[in-house]
Amino acid sequence: MSFSTDLILVGLMQIVGFFVQGCTGFGCTVIAASVTNGILGTSVGVPYGTLITLPFLYFLAVRTWRDVSWRDLGKIVALCVPGILVGNYLFYTISPNVAKICIGAMVTIIAVMNIYKHIVNPLIFKKTEVATVADTKAKQCFRYGCLILGGVVHGAFTIGGPLITVYTIEAVKEKEKFRNTMNMVWVVFNTWNAFNQYRNGAFTAHLGSALTIGFPMAAIGFFLGMAFLQRINKETFLRIVYCVLLFVGGNMLFTSLMALA
């Protein structure tokens, strides 16, 4: 094993990413991706992003399996898995940069709309919702479409998480159950990804060194995030989720557009 200051920088970034993961159930890989892949390179950074999550995903799954929306988890897996298989094929025919621009734009628009609804209106304009807006068939179809597209994109480029979150945040209203359900989604998909990466020879000594440094730092962020979730109400939780989505979508859109320049 070899260690360097670069590996410490990668590990420190996991504190931020896993704080969000421990609170919301998603975000750690995407938030840390630019630093992780920039320093380690994608050949090591991608399996690093998969493997560093597994101990925490399994820990939370064992601890919270009774408080998971199994029905919604079944829908997510059922609609995403065929898309993942399609995405594995499309990986060879679609430009990842074009896909990132489209997904980043879609997620950013959704996040901005909900930030206006949950943050700008109540906190700046002091407006309150007087009634719950009806959930129409069109909205339901849109959310299912996000799941299917999320599966395709995840199978092709492993960046389908934001689209899957669009469905789950509307389907699972309770904050802990939302986090626990998203956690189970990544248990399924990341376990499959880890198996494929192992089969393709991605596990190296350099990856082991990076994980040895990263695991303790990820643990700090993860358990702080879990504790923070207990201290916030549902509305604050939603605001955090949509801000994370805005960051993830906006960053994906911006970096992909810059890559075209």
Q: How confident is the model at residue 132 (pLDDT cuts 50, 70, 90)?
A: low
Residue 163 has pLDDT above 60, yes or no: yes
Query: What pLDDT digit, counting tens, does each position of 67-95 carry?
Result: 999 999 999 999 999 988 887 777 667 77
The three state secondary structure string of the chain is CCCCHHHHHHHHHHHHHHHHHHHHCCCHHHHHHHHHHHHHCHHHHHHHHHHCCHHHHHHHHHHHHHHCCHHHHHHHHHHHHHHHHHHHHHCCCCCHHHHHHHHHHHHHHHHHHHHHHHHHHHHHCCCCCCCCCCCCHHHHHHHHHHHHHHHHHHHHHCCCHHHHHHHHHHHCCCHHHHHHHHHHHHHHHHHHHHHHHHHCCCCCHHHHHHHHHHHHHHHHHHHHHHHHHCCCCHHHHHHHHHHHHHHHHHHHHHHHHHHHC
Is residue 5 located within the same domain as residue 81? no
Is residue 146 located within the same domain as residue 243? yes
Is residue 145 located within the same domain as residue 39? no
State which residues form the domain around 136: 70-171+233-261
Name the most confidently modeled range: 36-40, 102-106, 109-113, 186-190. 186-190
Q: How many domains does the chain have?
A: 2
Is residue 4 located within the same domain as residue 18? yes
What is the predicted pLDDT for the residue at 2? 59
Query: What pLDDT digit, counting tens, does each position of 19-53 carry?
Result: 989 998 988 887 887 788 778 887 888 889 889 99
Q: How confident is the model at residue 153 (pLDDT cuts 50, 70, 90)?
A: confident
What is the predicted pLDDT for the residue at 110? 81
Is residue 134 located within the same domain as residue 248? yes
Is residue 162 located within the same domain as residue 241? yes
Is residue 151 located within the same domain as residue 239? yes
State mean pLDDT over 148-153.
86
Is residue 164 located within the same domain as residue 35? no
Query: What pLDDT digit, counting tens, does each position of 215-246 carry?
Result: 999 999 999 999 999 999 888 988 898 898 88
Is residue 103 located within the same domain as residue 120? yes
State mean pLDDT over 202-215.
93
What is the predicted pLDDT for the residue at 57? 96
**Which of the residue ranges 59-68, 135-144, 179-188, 207-216 would you say has the lowest mean pLDDT?**
135-144
High-pLDDT (> 90) share of the chain, % = 38
Is residue 190 located within the same domain as residue 258? no
Is residue 249 located within the same domain as residue 157? yes
Is residue 218 located within the same domain as residue 136? no
